[in-house]
Structure 1
């Protein structure tokens, strides 16, 4: 089994090495047999060649790899994020990764946010009319197709039912955006009929965000569109303690191909200082291990992360004085300690096949 690794930009270059170190450790302990290949797609490549995703990259990924692990994209030298759209949105749309799962671990419980990942206002439909060299008229179209909304909602409801989540809310804005809002409402209500074990409700996005901040306890599962899911998950990250704690998975259920990434972005203000929090990246690794069928190693990693989060190794964004390296060392120490206590034999670990 092979995964493609894209460290990307900024702190992506700093949080991905801990992921690969922990993957190697878990691979050695559990015999995972996961190989990886590192790709230099990011701002530097874009600035030197004008290329984000190389020609044939999507075909190569789908044919040769089971998943992508992405560190972060974003660079002040490319203020319009053209390379980020080309690489990240290119993979999301080109590989049909239409389900984005962003779990929020809050004091009141886990809230599973499911965001449609390929259409809506992120579909790239629109244009600009220049007036005097400046944008005089700018149009971004919110485009949704019924087949995409149907397969997205159906998958989310099935997953929530399988996880025995009792409540699910559709978040929309049909009062102000009636056409796509109506489509989402129609699909949600129809698909919900096939899941009597789920209690469904609907909320406008502004009301939902207010309620989420005020009291998240009523929420278990959230189903929503691309833009709203992006905003909701960042609000949820703040409630968890910061963007450095938020992980995500982008999945194509039909092919089972997936992309895993921390939510935090490239954080250029702290890049190169050695204080980036690797928690979200490591939690994304745990999500990847779950997806690839390695629930045991994922559980070990999650317990180590929970313990390290409460230790003196916590990074400055969490009020601590730790560094990226110290936090990673704390996580690996806790993993090793748990496995030593079990007396688990060591086996072949993760292997890097080559750099690209």
Structure 2
């Protein structure tokens, strides 16, 4: 086991004689399953690992990485995004870190349902957590000031169910049916998570709905939110129809604290909010199993960006902020705060900006800046 060597000076030391005692403190060690994936995932994942290793040395944490080639590239050569026993291979890791998935040569539904969704559902990662923040120094597209909110997205059911099918392919009467599935357990647990989170922030929850037009599932969602709310008397809440909510998120993002939403609504809202905060390249995400029965998975939001893959121009902030969320989940709250502070420092005190933020900085320049700030 790795040790930290620390110099301890006894209280009776003098200028004539300094006695050094060496003591050894075991470092916490965590095994992380790395899935760099496709495109810029192979560039931002090493960046996140470099920052994790640096902050780990400061806080007495060591990370051991097992890397898996699960990706569209693997699909094109082997016919599957991951092996049949993929979940079993990563089941006992402390966390999973995913870079990005997607390639123009593989249909999006093939890559998604071949990797991300099996992991999310197999490991009951029913909370998708997406913090959104406009850092000082980042030029957002809006004139609004403060943007600091979290989207809590239901992650394993809702509109992204497997129930449905296609009939009469190729004929004029061809049809497709997709069923949305909302369960009392699924809705209640994600709503409880959102209200609990709001207690640690500014104490307000907004529920995204569309119960005026979707007659069964969203009134059911509304009823369950109303049932949960009284258990949190210290948290205020309201609900907004998704179309109006999207408009208000652009016009006045500062009014929102925690937004809880179904799988589809949360997916759309979090990408919209990331753009409001300057760039989707900054946005982090976590797929959480709050009970910790299974490992949680952490991934930046930005996707594989094949147009810039291999150029060294990817924004690593989304991956690095994602690493901070992983640190927090693993119990290293101060280490996570140090990483977020480093992000804020770089944006506030330097001119470093990648292409998506209107600059010319390369990925390795950003990583070097992070390592310099972290010391």
Task: Name the TM-score, length of structure 1 as normaliser.
Answer: 0.90
Equivalent residue for 2:74?
45
Higher radius of gyration, 1 or 2: 2
| Counterpart position of 2:12 | none
Aligned to 1:268: 306
Task: For residue 270 of structure 2, give the secondary structure of its aligned residue in structure 1.
Answer: helix
Equivalent of 1:128 in 147, 166, 179? 166
Hey, what's the Cα distance between the residues in 2 that align with 1:139 and 1:214? 35
The equivalent residue for 2:53 is 24
Other-structure match for 1:102: 130
C-alpha distance in 2 between matches for 1:31 and 1:136: 60
How many pairs were matched up? 334
Please give the alpha-carbon distance, in whole angstroms, between the structure 2 residues aligned to 1:176 and 1:286: 39
CA distance in 2, matches of 1:285, 1:212: 26
Whether 1:255 aligns to 2:292 is yes
| Distance 1:218-1:120 versus aligned 2 partners, 3 A rule | same
2:185 match: secondary structure: helix
Q: 1:133 Cα deviation (Å)? A: 6.9
1:78 is the counterpart of 2:106: yes
Does residue 180 (structure 1) correspond to residue 217 (structure 2)? The answer is yes
Question: Counterpart in 2 of 1:317?
Answer: 356
Between structures 1 and 2, the one with greater helix share: 1
Distance 1:135 1:150 in 2: 39
Which SS does the other structure have where 1:165 is aligned?
A: coil
Alignment partners' CA distance in 1, 2:205 and 2:57 = 39
Structure 1 stretches of 5 or more lacking a match?
337-356
TM-score, normalisation: structure 2: 0.86
Distance 1:134 1:93, change over 3 A: farther
1:345 alignment partner in structure 2: none
> What is the correspondence of 1:1-356 to structure 2 with a 5 Å cutoff?
1-62=30-91, 64-106=92-134, 107-132=145-170, 136-161=174-199, 163-255=200-292, 257-310=295-348, 311-336=350-375
RMSD: 1.5
Whether the 8 Å CA contact 2:147–2:277 is kept in 1: the answer is: no
The 8 Å contact of residues 201 and 257 in structure 2, kept in 1 or not, is answered as no
Distance in 2 separating the partners of 1:54 and 1:99 = 25
Q: Note the C-alpha offset of 1:209.
A: 0.5
